[in-house]
Amino acid sequence: MVLDNLGSSLRGSLDTLSGKSRVGEDDIEEIVKEIQRSLLQADVDVSLVMELSDSIKTRALEEEPPGGTTARDHVLSIVYEELVSLVGESTEIPLENQTILLAGLQGSGKTTTSAKMAWWFSKKGLRPAVIQTDTFRPGAYDQAKEMCARAEVDFYGNPDNDDPVDIARKGLEETADADIHIVDTAGRHALEDDLIAEIEEIESAVDPDRSLLVLDAAIGQGAKDQAKQFDESIGINGVVITKLDGTAKGGGALTAVNETDSSIAFLGSGETVQDVERFEPNSFISRLLG
C-alpha cells in the first residue's frame, strides 16, 4: 500500500489510533471528517464524498482486522481501498493500432492533449498521427501542426476545408500508415446543439476504438452535464484531466467518470508535449488529499 502524501491532519488522526486494538466510532468520525474536508476542497462531488464516507465508516466498524494487524493499519487499508474505488483504475489503453476521438468544450485542452498523447504513443514505439478537425476555433490548425512538429509525429489538417467530417475521413486516408489515429474535434463555449451534432457525425465517420472526454482540472460540477451529453451522443470510454499544474486538483472530473461509468486515462500537467502522464490511482489520491 502506498500513500505517500496523506495530508498531515489525516495522518495525525490515523496516528491517534496507534497502539489501540479496537477502533471507536469517534475515531472513525474524526478520520472521515478529515478526508471529507480534503476531497470537498479538491472539488469532489458531495454525494461521492458521502458514499465514500459511509463505506469507510461501515467497514472500519464492522470488519475485524486480520490477525496481527493494528487498528491503525486496518483503517488505513480500508481508507486506501475506498479511495481507490472512488478514483478508479486507469483506463486501459492497449499499445496496438487504434483510433481515439477527443471530445470536450473549447479551452479544455483537447488540441494540446492530442499532441501530448501522440508524443506518449511515439515514446512507446508506435507511430501516431493527429487529425485536426477543429474548423471552429481560429488558430487550432496552426497550434496542432506546431505541437505535432515538436512531438515529431504525423499530422493532418486542412485550414481551407470547413467540413470537419470530410477532414476526418481524408485524415484517416492520408495517415493510413500510422498505428494510432488521434482525432481532435472542435469544442464550443457551451454544450450547443451544433457541437453535439458535429461530433456525432465525426464519430460515425471515424468509428473510434475509444472516445475520451477532455476536462480542465478546474471544472467543478459542470462536469456532470458535459459528461452526460457527450456520453449520450458518442459514448465516453475515458477521461483526460488537463492543467493539473495549476492549483485545481481535478476532483470535479470524478463526477464525469462516475456519470459515464468510465475511468481516467491521462493527466496533463503543462503546456508542452511532454507534460503528460498516464493516470495512476496512488499519486492522484495523494494529490486529492494533499
Is 16 within any annotated ligand binding site?
no
Please tell me what DSSP assigns to residue 106.
Answer: T
Site string for ligand GDP, 188-217 (x = CB under 6 A): ------------------------------
Q: Report the nearest approach of ligand GDP to the CB of residue 57 (Å).
A: 36
Residues in 239-258 that interact with ligand GDP by CB under 6 A: 242-243, 245
User: Judged by CB, which is closer to ligand GDP: 83, or 130?
Assistant: 130
Q: Does 104 bind ligand GDP (CB under 6 A)?
A: yes
Instruction: Give the DSSP letter string of 125-176.
Output: T--EEEEE---SSTTHHHHHHHHHHHHT-EEE--TT---HHHHHHHHHHHTT
Q: Does 269 bind ligand GDP (CB under 6 A)?
A: yes
Residues in 126-155 that interact with ligand GDP by CB under 6 A: 137, 143
| Among the listed residues 20, 271, 274, 278, the single contact to ligand GDP using CB under 6 A | 271
Cell triple for 86? 472512488
Is 242 within any annotated ligand binding site?
yes
| Among the listed residues 7, 107, 222, 290, the single contact to ligand GDP using CB under 6 A | 107
Q: Does 110 bind ligand GDP (CB under 6 A)?
A: yes
Is 38 within any annotated ligand binding site?
no
Is 104 within any annotated ligand binding site?
yes
Q: Does 222 bind ligand GDP (CB under 6 A)?
A: no
Q: Collapsing DSSP states into helix, strand and coil, what is residue 67?
A: coil
Per-residue b/e over 138-151, b at no fewer than 16 CB within 10 Å?
Answer: eebbebbbebbeeb
Q: Collapsing DSSP states into helix, strand and coil, what is residue 5?
A: coil
Computed from CA positions of residues 86, 113, 117, 6, in that sequence, does the dihedral angle turn out positive or negative? negative
The total number of residues shown for the chain amounts to: 290
Cell triple for 12? 495525525
Q: Does 109 bind ligand GDP (CB under 6 A)?
A: yes
Is 244 within any annotated ligand binding site?
yes
Q: Where are the beta strands (DSSP E) in 74-126?
A: 98-103
Q: Are 137 and 152 in contact (CB under 8 A)?
A: no
User: Judged by CB, which is closer to ligand GDP: 152, or 271?
Assistant: 271
Per-residue b/e over 267-279, b at no fewer than 16 CB within 10 Å?
Answer: bbbeeebebbeeb
User: Judged by CB, which is closer to ligand GDP: 53, or 229?
Assistant: 229
Q: Does 106 bind ligand GDP (CB under 6 A)?
A: yes
Q: Report the nearest approach of ligand GDP to the CB of residue 73 (Å).
A: 36
Q: Does 74 bind ligand GDP (CB under 6 A)?
A: no
Q: Does 290 bind ligand GDP (CB under 6 A)?
A: no
Distance CA 211, CA 45 (A): 23
Q: What does the binding site for ligand GDP look like in residue numbers (CB under 6 A)?
A: 104, 106-112, 137, 143, 187, 242-243, 245, 268-271, 275
Residues marked as binding for GTP? 104-111, 184-188, 242-245
